Structure 1
Amino acid sequence: MATEPNYFNRELSWLAFNERVLAEAAREMLPPLERVKFLAITASNLDEFFMVRVGGLQYLKDARRKVNDPAGLTPTQQLNEIRERTLAFIKEQYRILNQDLLPVLRRNGIRRLTPAELNPSQRTHLHAYFNENVFAVLSPIAVEPGEDRLQLPALQIVLMSEVRSRIGEEDQVRHVVFTLPPNLPRHVVIPDAEGNTHAYINIEDLVEIFIHDFFPQEQVTGTARFRISRNSDITLDDESAQDIAAEMEEILEARKTSNTIRLEIEDEPDVTQSLIKAIQQICDAPPSLTYMIPGELDLRAYFAISSVPGFEDLKTEQWPTSEAVTLEPDESIFDVIRKDDILLYHPYESFEPVVQLIEQAATDANVVAIKQILYRTAKNSRIISALIKAAQAGKHVTALVELKARFDEARNLERAEELLAAGAQIIYGVRGLKTHAKITLVVRREPGGMARYCHFGTGNYNEATAKLYTDISFLTRDPVYGADASAFFNTVTGRSRFVHFQKISMAPFGLRERLLEMIQSETARAAAGEEAEIMLKMNALEDLQMMEALYAASQAGVKVQLNIRGICCLKPGVKGLSENIRVVSIIDRYLEHARIYWFRQGGDPVVFISSADFMTRNLSKRVELLTPIEDPACKKRLQEILLTHFSDNVQARQLDKDGNYTPVPRPSAKSKTKAVRSQEFFAKQAVRRHRPRAQSPDLLVPHVPK
């Protein structure tokens, strides 16, 4: 086992990832609304980080667990480091917002108005809006003297007002809180005389302007805005669960009242220490959990601003999504897959063929069964609708709906009930593990017998995120993949004893071992004097055993290139340990999400796609799949994808041995090296690859005058 200095702390590595996202919001060369979107992403990321990772650490601290992490830090030390980094992060977030983005947006016609900027007619308009849409919705709640804690909802903006009333000869002061529910719009549009502008006021400003309407004949002497995050690291003990659906509903309820792990208070000049202390008391949040925020709360609201209509010149030009699979009028998706294996790189190539596979299977008279793993699905999922239609048509539909998919549990429960009502066979995951594999099996009756069509992927069956995340899809009719897919579903749905598959590997029963075997094979080749190389693309790397294997490979002389979007606990470039390891991270328009694993193997590369990262939870605590890609054209394409990402010198940042991510040097004007922005390259490449398919070979298209 390596010693303490050989690893970075997981939580600080994640914060470094979010700092790289924030760096995109700071880039002046990006259009303003693209920068706004990145700012909103950082806020959403940070919320989830506190609810899950910080919540778990807080539990360990409260339980006085002093166990050190692989970087040598106790839970208390980690929490202290996180707070220090988070304070610096918040300061930079609001510097970008207040000093840069808001002025830029204002100059370009998107104006957040403050109460002081409203003219009389605007105030009249807003008062009417307040009376009609807000006043009857809000419910002021008095804080009783000595009350220790209120059950306030997480992640919603709350106002606490100090109200003074005259009773007899005495002044009495009480505190009242207002929760601003999410069904009220955060931004209230205001008629603006300046012409082509989008003027708005935040809902919390609107409420504060007219808050006196709630307290006639009393005086509101101060108001503060705050927001709490609750510990969501409450998971289901499904080893002993009798009714997993009912017990998951109890978990969701428990999260609503769990401990506060972060309190954010908007730092305004008139926010008094007495208000701060009162807020801390009712939220049960000591100063160590309190963050004074130098601006408006909940920057996730800027997602809405980033997509406001009518300001296209402030947004990035959209990259087209190419239709990699085009069907003739009399052709089905089954006809196309039957001809050749299909490899798709989303979102540069459309996710539509995957959706078509399910939709056509639902209506095809020859399809007898559909089996699928569902982890996270779209809000109005066409895939779920197709499965419902298939079940209603009498096809045998089996859906494993993972109820333990964090923050999607409620949606998955609802969709599972719809599928169950339609007649589908539903499995709520497997005991003790999350099912995170991405696989679909369609069984179809054909002239030669039963054929099995498979989809293996690196991303979820979610049409919405398929437009935003980069992922790999592999569609095949190969009978060996089909046999493996059937055996996999038998294992996870039928309590069949695990068997070794012919091609694929499954966690937690062999996937880790298969990857270790490949790394160790390259290590042995290097030790024998052969050329050895490993290229891996993933979202996170923190598993100790995998890092040890990569260190050993580096020491043997294997060239190791790692493209890791987020967490990386491995230290590259350490002499005698990892000088042959290079780690790069790419943050760009799309969220890098694909997992591709490539091993040279003496010049006959072995290539995999996977649903699993090199994380202990993926390799040992989840049901995952590792799929070898053996079709020569598909293998070559995956290698080209990796090489292009490692050639990125525009958006890539390289990790050094001290934990710093620095931009890969861009070529100078005199250099012969070309600038490579990998995501842009793939978008343009997809257009070039599929342009000829748009023209039928027996159709002549004349050029006509413009």
Structure 2
Amino acid sequence: MNATPKPSQSRASDPRNARHVPHDQAAQGQDVDPLRDPALYFNRELSQLDFNFRVLAQARDAQVPLLERLRYLCISCTNLDEFFEIRAATVRHSQDFGIPPGPDGVAPAEVLKQIHDRAAELVDAQYRCWNEELRPQLNDAGVRILPRDAWNAKQTRWLRDHFCEQILPVLSPLGLDPAHPFPKILNKSLNIVVVLKGKDAFGRTGHLAIVRAPRSLPRIIQIPQEVSGGPSDFVFLSAMLSAFVDELFPGMQVKGAYQFRVTRNSELIVDEEEVENLALALRDELIGRGYLRAMRLEIAEQCPTDIVRTLLVNFDLPENAVYRINGPVNLNRVIQVYDLVQRPDLKYPAFQPRALRDADAMFERVAEGDVLLHHPFDSFAPVLELIKQAAEDPNVLAIKQTLYRTGKDSPIVEQLVQAARNGKDVTVVVELRARFDEEANLGVGDRLQDAGVQVVYGVVGYKTHAKMLLIVRREGRKLRRYVHLGTGNYHSGTTRNYTDFGLITADPDIGNDVDLIFRQLSGLAPAIKLKRLLQSPFTLHAGVLARIDRETKHARAGRPARIIAKMNALNEPQVVRALYTASQAGVQIDLIVRGACTLRPGVPGVSDNIRVRSIVGRFLEHHRVYWFGNDGAPDLFCSSADWLERNLLRRIETGFPILDPDLAARVYDEALANYLADNTNAWALQPDGRYERIAPTEHHMPHSAQLSLLAKLCT
């Protein structure tokens, strides 16, 4: 392993993070809670950005198959795009509107500066990984992504012909002059700025032109084997545009051609209090999403400074928002090579998820006892089968489900449509504001409504992120509720790549709780009291705090006290302070946090009993599990919610208990103890903000949590 993320700047030693006293408390002379000291908190955005260094480390790990390493590189690039579109854009919004700093005490302007500095380091590392490691190694393995200077005469002829026949007809170059001002540039689109010399047919003197690559063009072009001599030879569209751009300007001299790409704010803001129809308002917002405020400019590193300045002025960007690129500006598009190259020897070995017995009779199977599914190691087919059987079963009267992300051509949507056509009462809560899936979810809502499904577009002001399915079935003279609750989306694709838990149960209390939540979502119901489930924004936050406090009291009374929690991110200040208090009381706390974590572990006297680790491996770690020791009578919840402010306070989420002791033991063993033993894909968060790779020792053999589950559960 030769990739170690560069340490983040320690907040404790940074004078910019001096103790911040809230104005109202200082004015009244109140004592400030020492657990609110900004030095005890990492910045969420910078912590999230650092996660991508851990992803990039997978791309540089020689133990990972070569094409998988390419995939990790592309994931780190795509993640960085989304980071600028959402997280950096949110910080810019805070700066513009004077929103005060968060718990870390760092002002938005300073956060933006640190974001750009740290992102520059990440971009440099990404392109060094591409140019110095992956591209040469892929070339040696027979997968060649050919740069311009490597094209031979035969390849060049074919590429020029292909350009003239397949690409040139769809291009519309725009010369910049008083009649042709700088055009609108679509978010993350590929563009070429061309420097010209000479006059065109109208006598206009050329200077600059913009060539935009339409979305319809593939970003990676495969050269036929009979032309190139190799079965897996590719070129970037950006290289072809730069090489043959002279075909667009006959009679003029091309002095230079430089690719560039702008990343824009993609956070949609709909004033939900002022709209009568959220779906219509969102459709209007989507039209302009690709042209919102610019956040970052990527441009070829050899581009002249005066052209860069021209672009920065047009995009209203500061100097530190430009990233000079030693390679294609859309490096993430090389992911297409992963799918185009059929080389099993360069990819992870295929596996077959474990099948559920008696899945052809799901109601009978669940009536025997709860079913726990651990994806991707357990097949997602039982969930699909449950919905399919519900759609066809004459005894099923009603189906209710939440949909956050479903994927293209979702079999679940098709079964819900069929259920409605079969006379079932079907209600679906479609969350329109699932980021980057808004347009797809609008289409899902339209399709369901056309089939007679009652579609509810969530709750104003709160995203519906809970994963719930409720089936009401007549059995004799009684109605019985069957429920599926999950930590992940109803998306067949992600269930093969994300780690998640799903519980299928006929427990009456859980069924009644889920029914109450659906009625609350679809109607105008008052606050409800749930027996088994925790629900955000009402009881989940308070329930977590109460259980942390209970462990604190156990520790103070000299009883065993332990907390283990696994999630994607952690930043909710009250939860962090409660964990600090628990640590001070002696509670042993292990947190498995994949991405952003604002809690600072290992601070003497504050968090020296807290350990934080991040797992980055073959599958995206996605399940959320909370375990509280409770003096030998542990509480265990799976949830759709991270310990983030938005999830605990501004979303519809659920936390559901695993009541069957054997299944609870499975969750503990597979998702907690197993991951705490990982010493091959685990990173430990240090008090200064660095993540250090955990390695096997002479006393601890190599252990990969994900590989152990593959070996145990799959074939």
What is the TM-score normalised by the length of structure 1? 0.93
Cα deviation, residue 410, structure 1: 0.3
Contact 1:189/1:199 (8 A) holds in 2: yes
Q: How do 1:175-186 residues align onto structure 2 when only pairs under 5 Å count? A: 175-186=208-219
2:393 equivalent in structure 1: 364
Among candidates 469, 479, 492, match of residue 440 of structure 1: 469
**Which whole-Å CA distance do the structure 1 matches of 2:258 and 2:618 have between them?**
36
**1:683 is the counterpart of 2:710:** yes
In structure 2, the residue matched to 1:691 is: none
**Residue type matched to 1:434 in 2?**
K
Q: Which amino acid aligns with 1:182?
A: R
Residue 323 of structure 1 and its aligned partner are, at CA, apart by 1.1
Q: Which moved more, 1:573-582 or 1:679-688?
A: 679-688
Query: For residues 20-41 of structure 1, what are the alpha-carbon distances to aligned partners after superposition, in whole Å with 9 as ceiling and x for unaligned?
Result: 1111111122221111010000
Per-residue CA shift, 1:288-323, capped at 9, x if unaligned?
321111211112212212233332211121233111
Q: What does residue 294 of structure 1 align with? A: 326
**Using the alignment, how far apart are the partners of 1:212 and 1:674 within structure 2?**
60
1:285 paired residue among 317, 340, 359: 317
Q: Which moved more, 1:280-289 or 1:484-493?
A: 280-289
**Other-structure match for 1:656:** 686
Alignment: residue pair count: 679
Distance 1:152 1:167 in 2: 24
Contact preservation (8 Å) 2:561, 2:629 = yes
- Corresponding residue number in structure 2 for 1:319: 351
For residue 122 of structure 2, what is the aligned residue in structure 1?
A: 89
Q: Please list the CA deviations of residues 48-75 of structure 1 after superposition, one character each: whole Å capped at 9, or x if unmatched.
A: 0000111111222234x26222111101
2:681 counterpart letter in structure 1:
Q
What is the distance in 1 between the residues matched to 2:201 and 2:154? Answer: 39
SS at match of 1:135: helix
Contact (CA 8 Å) 1:345, 1:473: kept in 2 or not?
yes
Tell me the secondary structure at the aligned position of residue 189 of structure 1. Answer: strand
Alpha-carbon distance in 1 for matches of 2:139, 2:544 = 52
Give the Cα–Cα distance (whole angstroms) in 2 for the partners of residues 545 and 580 of structure 1. 18
SS of residue in 1 equivalent to 2:397: strand
> Would the aligned equivalents of 2:568 and 2:624 in 1 still touch at CA under 8 Å?
yes
Q: Does 1:645 align with 2:675?
A: yes
Residue by residue, what CA displacement relative to the aligned partner does 1:627-656 show, whole Å, maximum 9, x if unpaired?
Answer: 111111111111112111111111111111
Query: What is the CA distance between 1:619 and its match in structure 2?
Result: 0.6
Instruction: State the Cα distance separating 1:273 from its structure 2 match.
Output: 2.3
Question: In the aligned structure 2, how far is the partner of 1:174 from the partner of 1:674?
Answer: 64
Work out which of the residue numbers 419, 425, 431 in structure 2 matches 1:396.
Answer: 425
1:238 corresponding residue in structure 2: 272
Q: Distance in 2 between matches of 1:167 and 1:19?
A: 48
Q: Kindly state the Cα deviation for residue 188 of structure 1 after the two structures are TM-superposed.
A: 1.2
Whole-angstrom distance in 2 between the partners of 1:407 and 1:24: 26
Given candidates 148, 158, 180, the residue that maps to 2:191 is 158
Partner SS for 1:160: strand
Partner of 1:589: 618
- For residues 138-172 of structure 1, the C-alpha deviation after alignment (integer angstroms, 9 at most, x for no partner) is 11122234977531111111011122223799982
Q: Distance in 2 between matches of 1:128 and 1:292?
A: 30
Give the match for residue 8 of structure 1.
Answer: 42
> Are residues 69 and 626 of structure 1, via their aligned partners in 2, closer, same or farther at CA, if it must alter by over 3 Å?
same
Mean alpha-carbon deviation: is it higher for 474-483 or for 236-245?
236-245
Tell me, yes or no, if structure 1 residue 101 matches structure 2 residue 134.
yes
Contact 2:485 2:656 in 1 (8 A): yes
Match of 2:287 in 1: 253
Give the 5 Å matches for 1:377-416.
377-416=406-445
Q: Which residue of 2 aligns with 1:510?
A: 539
Distance in 2 between residues matched to 1:482 and 1:174, nearest whole Å: 69
Q: Is the 8 A contact 2:396 2:473 kept in 1?
A: yes
Offset, 1:352: 0.9
Could you tell me how far 1:196 is from its partner in structure 2?
A: 4.5
Residue in structure 1 matched with residue 146 of structure 2 by the alignment:
113
Q: Is the 8 A contact 2:366 2:506 kept in 1?
A: yes
Instruction: Give 1:452-491 correspondences, 5 Å limit.
Output: 452-491=481-520
Look up the SS of the partner of 1:134 in the other structure.
helix
What is the CA–CA distance in structure 2 between the aligned matches of 1:398 and 1:304, rounded to whole Å?
38
Please state if 1:51 is matched with 2:85.
Answer: yes
Name the structure 2 match of 1:71.
104
8 Å contact from structure 2 (residues 224, 231) kept in 1: no
- 1:447-475 deviation per Cα after TM superposition (whole angstroms, max 9, x unaligned): 25111100010000000011010000000
1:211 matched to which residue of 2? Answer: 245
- Residue deviations 1:602-648, cap 9 Å, x none? 11111101111100000110000011111111111111121111111
For the residues of structure 1 that align with 2:177 and 2:470, how far apart are their CA atoms?
59
Question: 1:214: how far off?
Answer: 1.5
State the match for 2:5 in structure 1. Answer: none
Matching residue's letter, 2:355: E
Shift of 1:195: 4.5
The 8 Å contact of residues 174 and 180 in structure 2, kept in 1 or not, is answered as no
2:648 maps to: 619
Q: Structure 1 434/221 Cα, relative in aligned 2: closer, same or farther at 3 Å? A: same
Rounded to whole Å, the distance in 1 between the matches of 2:695 and 2:159 is: 51
Matches within 5 A, 1:658-677: 658-668=688-698, 671=699, 673-677=700-704
Is 1:31 paired with 2:65?
yes
Secondary structure at the counterpart of residue 296 of structure 1: coil
Unmatched 5+ stretches in structure 1: 689-706
TM-score (norm 2): 0.92
Q: How far apart are the structure 2 equivalents of 1:78 and 1:354?
A: 43
CA contact (8 A) 1:33 1:307 kept: no
Q: Summarize the Cα distance change of 1:316–1:554 in structure 2 as closer, same or farther, 3 Å threshold.
A: same
1:435-492 per-position Cα deviation (integer Å, ceiling 9, x unaligned): 1001000111112511110001000000001101000000001111111111110111
Q: State the 1:79 CA deviation.
A: 0.5
Residues 644-691 of structure 1 show CA distances to partners (whole Å, capped at 9, x for unaligned) of 1111111111111111111223122xx3x3321000011111138xxx
Contact 1:535 1:598 in 2 (8 A): yes
Of 337, 340, 364, the residue aligned with 1:305 is 337
Q: Which shows bigger deviation, 228-237 or 8-17? A: 228-237
* Aligned-pair CA distance for 1:205: 1.5
Match of 2:587 in 1: 558
Cα pair distance change 1:169/1:182, threshold 3 Å: closer
Instruction: Select 1:530's aligned residue among 559, 563, 584.
Output: 559
Instruction: Note if contact 1:147-1:282 (Cα within 8 Å) is conserved in structure 2.
Output: no
C-alpha displacement of 1:200:
1.4
| CA displacement, residues 243-275 of structure 1 (integer Å, 9 cap, x when unaligned) | 11110012212322211111110213xx22233
SS at match of 1:70: coil
Q: Structure 1 residues 166 and 177, CA, compared in 2 at 3 Å: closer, same or farther? A: closer
- In the alignment, residue 628 of structure 1 is paired with which amino acid? P
Q: Which of 52, 60, 69 is matched with 1:18 structurally?
A: 52
Find the aligned partners of 1:171 and 1:477 in 2 and give their Cα distance.
76
Q: Distance in 2 between matches of 1:306 and 1:198?
A: 11
In 2, Cα distance between the equivalents of 1:24 and 1:238? 41
Letter in 2 for 1:397: V
The 2-side partners of 1:526 and 1:167 are apart by 82
CA distance in 2, matches of 1:168, 1:200: 36
| CA deviation vs aligned residue, 1:487-543 (integer Å, no higher than 9, x gap) | 110111111112111111111111111111111111101100000111101111100
Q: Distance in 2 between matches of 1:322 and 1:66?
A: 49
Structure 1 counterpart of 2:665? 636
Q: What is the deviation of 1:129?
A: 1.7
